[in-house]
Amino acid sequence: MYKGKFLSAVITAAGSGTRMGLEINKPYLEIGSKKILELSLTTVTSIEEFDEIILVIREEDFSLATEILSLFRDPRIKMVAGGASREESTYNGLIALNPDSDLVLSHDGVRPFASRGLFLRVLKEMETYKAAISATKSKDTVKVANENGEVDFTPNREFVYNIQTPQGFDTRLIKSLYKKYFESEAKITDDSQLFEFFDRDEPVKIVEGEYSNIKMTTTEDIIFAKAFIKGER
């Protein structure tokens, strides 16, 4: 519970390792002595405020995930199967939540370095907002191109952010926005974008993220991850 509210977590780990050119799915790659998903769950399970933790994975990875979960023996964790897309996987996690859920934090299972403090900072903003997301200010100048690959304009870097997870939401609201999404032709790349399409009146609070909170997407990310762990030690 958090401030008297039932708190849930949805951890999505239903993607594949195709962009890395690997046979094994990304969450089950080893970095140092631990698998990526194991690192993520270590942080999430350390947050005692969570009443339930929904782990969304590919059906074919159930045995691999079960092996990792045996290390935690945490009764709050429940596994559900993912969908054909990231959005479907997240929604599968949302509909598996306890009906009493008031707040939910969603997180990419392949972001193993999000700190416990980052989760708690996002959660703190949920006392005021119905949506809060972690993000880092862009270090680079960003160009927006037209359909011909030509520069259209340059946004002010002061207002440009790289979006991360965890992201926190009012449970009932995010579920209702996802229902609208699946009835539309909109395309999103993160959950908070639902508010841009379907609820512009509800502000989304940006919480200062962590540059080390990278998503394991390419082989270069694995190199960074190994160096990061070595540096921590």
Tens digits of residue pLDDT in 28-79: 999 988 999 999 999 999 999 999 999 999 999 999 999 999 999 999 999 9
CA dist 89 → 16, 94, 185 (Å): 13, 9, 18
Q: Is residue 143 part of a domain?
A: no
List CB contacts of 105: < 8 A, sequence separation 6 or more. Answer: 7, 8, 9, 10, 50, 119, 122, 123, 166, 167, 168, 169
CA dihedral 211, 192, 51, 65 (to 10 degrees): -70
Which pLDDT score, from 0 to 100, does residue 230 have? 81
* Chain segment 174-188, per-residue pLDDT in tens: 999 999 999 999 999
The number of domains in the chain is 1
Q: Identify the bridge partners of residue 123 per DSSP, sorted by sequence position.
A: none
The CATH number of whichever domain residue 55 belongs to comes to 3.90.550.10
CB 107 within 8 A of CB 187: no
Task: Look at residue 156 and tell me if it is in a domain.
Answer: no
Q: Each residue of 99-143: pLDDT tens digit?
A: 999 999 999 999 999 999 999 999 999 999 999 999 999 999 999
Looking at the predicted structure, is the pLDDT value of residue 86 above 90? Answer: yes
Side chain identity, residue 38? E
Query: First and final CA of the chain: distance in angstroms?
Result: 33
Q: What is the pLDDT of residue 7?
A: 98
14 pLDDT higher than 70: yes
**For residue 114, is it within any domain?**
yes
pLDDT for position 231: 78
Q: Which pLDDT score, from 0 to 100, does residue 71 have?
A: 95
As separate numbers, helices (DSSP H) first and strands (DSSP E) second, the chain gives: 7, 11
Establish if 141 belongs to a structural domain.
no
DSSP-derived 3-state class of residue 12: strand
190 located within any domain: yes
Peptide bond between residue 27 and the one before it cis (omega within 30 degrees of 0): no
pLDDT band at 24 (very low <50, low <70, confident <90, very high): confident
Chain segment 136-164, per-residue pLDDT in tens: 999 999 999 999 999 999 999 999 999 99
Look at residue 228 and tell me if it is in a domain.
yes
Distance (Å, whole) CA 169 – CA 7 = 10
pLDDT at residue 233, rounded to an integer = 60
Is 29 inside a domain boundary?
yes
Confidence at residue 18, expressed as pLDDT on a 0 to 100 scale: 59
- How do beta strands 34-35 and 30-31 pair? antiparallel
- Asked if residue 19 has pLDDT above 90, the reply is no
Residue 20 has pLDDT above 70, yes or no: no
Domain boundaries, position 118: 7-134+163-232
Q: 22: pLDDT confidence band, cut at 50, 70 and 90?
A: low
Cα 186 to Cα 87: distance, rounded to the nearest angstrom: 12
pLDDT at 104: 98
Length of the chain: 233
pTM tops 0.85, yes or no: yes
Predicted confidence at residue 229, as pLDDT, reads 86
147 located within any domain? no
